[in-house]
Amino acid sequence: MRVMLIRPPARHTVESEVPEAVAAENLSYPPLAILAIGTFLRQKTHHEVIILDAQLDDLGYDEVEQKIREWGPDVVGLTCFTVQLVDVHKCIAAARNAGTKYIVLGGPHINDFPKESLALPNVDAIVKGEGQEPMKLLLDCWEKGDVAKDIPGVMAHDDDPIPEEDVYYSNNLDEYPMVDLDMIEYERYYDVMGGGGIFTTLVSSRGCPYRCTFCNTPRHRYRVMSPERVCDELEMALNKGIKEVYFVDDTFNITNKRVIELCDEIIRRGLEFSWTVRFRVKGVDRELLDKMKAAGCGRIQFGVEQGTEEGLLRLKKDVTSSEIEHAFKLCREVGIRTVAYFMIGTPTERSRQDVLDTIEYSIKLNPDFVMYNILTPFPGTTLYNEGIRDGVLDIDPWLKFMQAPSEDFKAQVWDEYFSREELRELLHLAYRRFYWRPVFVARNIMQMRNFDDLKRKATAGIRLLTQ
């Protein structure tokens, strides 16, 4: 069968209260999930598979339809995030208009809302969990003309049982094929906070054992790739001219031992590249950071979220403000750049001064970059359930949106103490306070490596200043 895997456009993303300039830069990352599935299908089946990243060129829906019509796939698979449900809905219509026989949805939204996803018009099946093996079985079934029934990880009929949470979550990540970057225009992706080299994303682990109340990451078993397997994939990427890698593991440093073993293997092989990770503050020490620096780590992204003990406890961050400050201090001493993520409008911020204190705390930490957003509790999170319980949030808008995606929908914010407009004003104030500081501007000018780097960062900066 001919299969086209699509990352939908991002033209109608649910308003997440992140400034447009910040959200736009996230679109420059490769579509790693469908790339992994596409690679698996190419290597493990006889089906013909291509990838269409509609975000890369900001394709319109008519352009998506034309691309589908030109290639003529039997099956279109769409990756689905809750915030992009309108775009997914429009791509489903485009695929059907182009004559596609089967339309399949997968991704984080499907994991949380499988029945609602299957009920969307023109959806023939949904794949829940890690989609490699379920997609293979589904395609083989359809190719033979059989009814898609009793396929683990797949729902194709209203009366099908919801797949179990752990269907096809492989315990041996080494057995998955290394992603085939040639399936995409890999040289076109970039990292606005990076050094301007050819950039890609990779994973070295899956799952997360933590229970942050605002997070809807599927809480399946935490599993890791061996250092040897990770470095094999790194070598393949570096041989294509990749210079910068962002490990998009949900949490990279569940144990320091694993990180150090990976660093040792990178050093042993003499791999030279700059890499970025998502980190928890807990457990960060000088030995770990020294080893990471020696292995080429250039940036660590920390989910700080709040600067008060009360706020950290409410979000179940399992860390103290003193541990946060110590981790950022160590990174500065070692020479690893940092990004701090903060939330505005959390349940423990009850006054304007509380939010201003959060902003001041983010400046006090002195990271190289800060990303702020307004707390938007999504279905499937503990905080969302608490908001429903306490009457702060209403379940009906989300249910209606999932049943009939609308461009007018706006996700609810935690508006117990602030209106949406007040939170937006505070969000833009936060970005101005941090990024307009002369010390920040001077530091980043000194770090510019080339004209392209200057152009990307200047463009992002201008967007922020004009929000």
Cβ neighbour number for residue 308 with a 10 Å cutoff: 16
> Which conformational region is residue 105 in: left (phi greater than 0), alpha (psi within -120 to 50 degrees), or beta?
beta
Measured in Å, how far apart are the chain's first and last C-alpha atoms? Answer: 46
Q: Residue 313: name the closest of 360, 340, 347 by CA.
A: 347
**pLDDT of 464:** 47
Concatenated DSSP letters of 416-432: SSS-HHHHHHHHHHHHH
**pLDDT of 129:** 84
Q: Residue 444: name the closest of 454, 452, 434, 455 by CA.
A: 454
23 pLDDT tier (thresholds 50, 70, 90): very low
Mean pLDDT within 23-34: 73
Mean pLDDT within 285-309: 95
**pLDDT of 166:** 57
**pLDDT of 165:** 61
Q: Is 192 helix (H, G, I), strand (E, B) or coil?
A: coil
Are the C-beta atoms of 305 and 317 separated by less than 8 Å? yes
CA–CA gap between residue 413 and residue 461 (Å, rounded):
26
Q: Where is 103: in which H helix or E strand?
A: strand 102-106
Are the C-beta atoms of 55 and 26 separated by less than 8 Å? no
Which residue do the tokens 């406890």 mark?
313
Q: For residue 303, is pLDDT > 60?
A: yes
Domains annotated for the chain, with CATH where assigned, are 2-155 (3.40.50.280), 190-376+413-465 (3.80.30.20)
Are the C-beta atoms of 409 and 398 separated by less than 8 Å? no
Which residue do the tokens 């790194």 mark?
234
* pLDDT tens string 260-286: 999 999 999 999 999 999 999 999 999
Angle at 25 between CA 305 and CA 366, to 5 degrees: 40
Provide the token pair at 7: 């990352």
Q: Where is 245: in which H helix or E strand?
A: strand 244-247
Q: Where is 465: in which H helix or E strand?
A: helix 451-465
Q: Where is 247: in which H helix or E strand?
A: strand 244-247
Considering all CA atoms of the chain, what is the largest pairwise distance in Å, rounded to the nearest integer?
Answer: 65
**pLDDT of 195:** 81
SS3 for 358-420 is HHHHHHHHCCCEEEEEECCCCCCCHHHHHHHHHCCCCHHHHHHHHHCCCCCCECCCCCCCCCH
**pLDDT of 168:** 59
- More confident of the two residues 467 and 247: 247
Distance from CA of residue 303 to its chain's centroid? Answer: 13
Which residue do the tokens 């983010």 mark?
362
392 φ, ψ to 5°? Answer: -80, -35
Cβ neighbour number for residue 215 with a 10 Å cutoff: 19
Locate all alpha helices (DSSP H) within 198-351, ordered by sequence: 227-238, 256-269, 286-294, 309-314, 321-334
Q: For residue 343, is pLDDT > 50?
A: yes
CA–CA gap between residue 255 and residue 266 (Å, rounded):
17
* pLDDT tens string 149-198: 999 899 999 889 988 765 656 678 898 999 999 999 999 998 888 888 88
**pLDDT of 177:** 92
State the sign of the Cα–Cα–Cα–Cα dihedral 31, 54, 116, 415. Answer: positive
* pLDDT tens string 89-145: 999 999 999 999 999 999 989 988 899 999 999 999 999 988 999 999 999 999 999
pLDDT, mean over the chain: 88
* pLDDT tens string 410-450: 889 999 999 999 999 999 999 999 998 887 777 666 555 54
Predicted model pTM: 0.90
Q: For residue 453, is pLDDT > 60?
A: no
Mean pLDDT within 11-19: 65
**pLDDT of 444:** 66
